[in-house]
Structure 1
């Protein structure tokens, strides 16, 4: 099966001298496949390895959602709370709940769709400055009326984590998630900090590869600013499966499908898409940030976890991760 996975990956990662990706398949908490393809740094010619540190983009939302549930578990908030309880001056905050933010059903304007984003993309922003940036924009719909993927909601969640815990978001994630789980190669992203085994991000233009567009990580913040490795993400998934961080009740909340006001189902829990793949329910989430794309898929029924991390936003790992998952599912089902 390893050869089949290799050939699936090599059809997408054909350029061995270009940026590439790192891939992992785990079953029952143990790695059954792990390999890296392509270069970590084109200037130096360094190869990517299975220990390379990648930016996760929106896979960050999993960590933000679990941080919120940790605070609920500690009795410091409830997901049914209105956001006005924590941000009193937020327009319409008495109608928007934390649940709405977690499930992308708040109707708040997504800051990534605002034309003014270019003006702040490279500025150092505080969480409050980020919230102020989009809070007066007209809402797209009333809370609970629709599902529309939304980065602003997770910026608001990061801000509330700080308000409730009294800790900076990056410190909260490190102290309450990374440190307890031994995720020693996971970070709040930085272009200045020396990060060993860093994968450098690239974009592809007509004339070839270029270094990624620089942004201030204070802009994506709790919606997309974390970095990690294959090995650390396996520690993360195992901790979720074994209720090491969250109790069974809070874990169920993270992975439940919710409904809109009209009763229509939403295929999203708290920080994960909940969908079907080869007839099985899976929990999946990807990420995209300048120079990087990521995808993680977990199949609870088979305890299979597939992760694909790439260091060029020209290589989308979504379909690749799904095809690898289908291959493993088919093999697993056959072997039973």
Structure 2
């Protein structure tokens, strides 16, 4: 009798959970389609995970307009500045190995860097260094399609006047992360691409993540587009040695979940280093700012979240993690006309609300 009751109860609970899951699925479909109604143009792929498991994953629109190929959950997108997460963790891995310290001045590794005795790796990681952001330099167009070594990239911006003294204010800065990539090479003795491959991608089984290339044949590649008055065009070409450690990685929804789960479960970093990545820091005047090492630290729906987006010719990306609920939301798009930032945050809000209702 009791056993039969328990079986019926389990079946009812399963049915309730299934109904709730389908309701959330329909709500997410509606939210995304309202924001991105054109299914014949470039599109996006979205994923929601809770407690490390996928609860929603779907692709919309085309991976290649010329061939009429649809995007899929396995499509490989350029990440743009979501790359900074990987660069920051690579620095913390080297710190964990005792090969550097985040409070080291950059002059320890690049003796001739102007003012390098006052700028630390911490300043670079937190966008508080004051060095010139190379993406704001007019001369960028002259090198955008050239093969640049990391040293050439650093030399490109290092003699520019600084915008402010180190630690004086927070100002998002791509040059700082190019410098960090160069330091990773100097300290580890291998290229940035190889370091990320060996110490992150290979260790975590991220088999569909790459240092970007337009020449390499990449299975399930999503092609990047831009929108002009005349319609969609193929993305502007850029040599990936230019964004380098600030924005040159590619990945998929599934691989990014492996990455997020590894961070949550300390598969790469110890607790102390993880804490460094996700802490808020203070400016020289004692004011807190909302950035850790490679992640923005902000609030959505009254909950603390870790976020970071990315934008590079033809692609935009956004990732949101809610530690208190162990919810991870990712949006990847293959047209820089489609920013997933607000949509991804709205998906997170919806999932948080529905999660609270089901308690």
Bin the TM-score by the shorter chain. Answer: over 0.9
Q: Describe the SS at the equivalent of 1:6.
A: helix
1:33 aligns with 2:56: yes
Q: Deviations over 1:250-292 (max 9, x none)?
A: 0000000000000011100000000000000000000000000
1:48 aligns with 2:61: no
Which of 328, 332, 335 is the equivalent residue of 1:305?
A: 328
Task: Measure how far apart 1:71 and its partner are.
Answer: 0.0
Q: Describe the SS at the equivalent of 1:5.
A: helix
Q: Tell me the equivalent position of 1:183.
A: 206
Q: Tell me the equivalent position of 2:46.
A: 23
Task: Measure how far apart 1:333 and its partner are.
Answer: 1.4
Where does structure 1 lack aligned partners over 5 or more consecutive residues?
none
1:193 aligns with 2:255: no
**Aligned partners of 1:158 and 1:266: how far apart in 2?**
24
Corresponding pairs, count: 336
Task: Measure how far apart 1:6 and its partner are.
Answer: 0.6
Which of 215, 222, 247 is the equivalent residue of 2:238?
A: 215
1:67 aligns with 2:90: yes
Q: Describe the SS at the equivalent of 1:326.
A: helix
Q: Deviations over 1:288-334 (max 9, x none)?
A: 00000000000000000000000000000000000000000011112
Q: Deviations over 1:18-69 (max 9, x none)?
A: 0000000000000000000000000000000000000000000000000000
Q: Tell me the equivalent position of 1:203.
A: 226
Q: Tell me the equivalent position of 1:330.
A: 353
Q: Tell me the equivalent position of 1:2.
A: 25
CA contact (8 A) 1:73 1:246 kept: yes
Q: Describe the SS at the equivalent of 1:11.
A: helix
Q: Tell me the equivalent position of 1:138.
A: 161
**Aligned partners of 1:15 and 1:327: how far apart in 2?**
23
Stretches of 4+ aligned residues off by more than 6 angstroms = none
Q: Tell me the equivalent position of 1:270.
A: 293
1:90 aligns with 2:109: no
Q: Deviations over 1:157-215 (max 9, x none)?
A: 00000000001000000000000000000000000000000000000000100000000
**Aligned partners of 1:91 and 1:11: how far apart in 2?**
50
- Using structure 2 for the length normalisation, give the TM-score: 0.93
Q: Tell me the equivalent position of 2:249.
A: 226
Quote the RMSD (CA, aligned, Å): 0.4
Q: Tell me the equivalent position of 2:276.
A: 253
**Aligned partners of 1:23 and 1:234: how far apart in 2?**
12
Task: Measure how far apart 1:335 and its partner are.
Answer: 1.5
**Aligned partners of 1:203 and 1:166: how far apart in 2?**
38
**Aligned partners of 1:188 and 1:217: how far apart in 2?**
8
Larger Cα-atom Rg = 2
Which of 20, 37, 41 is the equivalent residue of 1:14?
A: 37
**Aligned partners of 1:8 and 1:221: how far apart in 2?**
34
**Aligned partners of 1:8 and 1:335: how far apart in 2?**
20
Q: Deviations over 1:207-234 (max 9, x none)?
A: 1000000000000000000000000000
CA contact (8 A) 1:12 1:315 kept: no
Q: Tell me the equivalent position of 1:106.
A: 129
Task: Measure how far apart 1:11 and its partner are.
Answer: 1.4
Q: Describe the SS at the equivalent of 1:256.
A: coil
Where does structure 2 lack aligned partners over 5 or more consecutive residues?
1-23
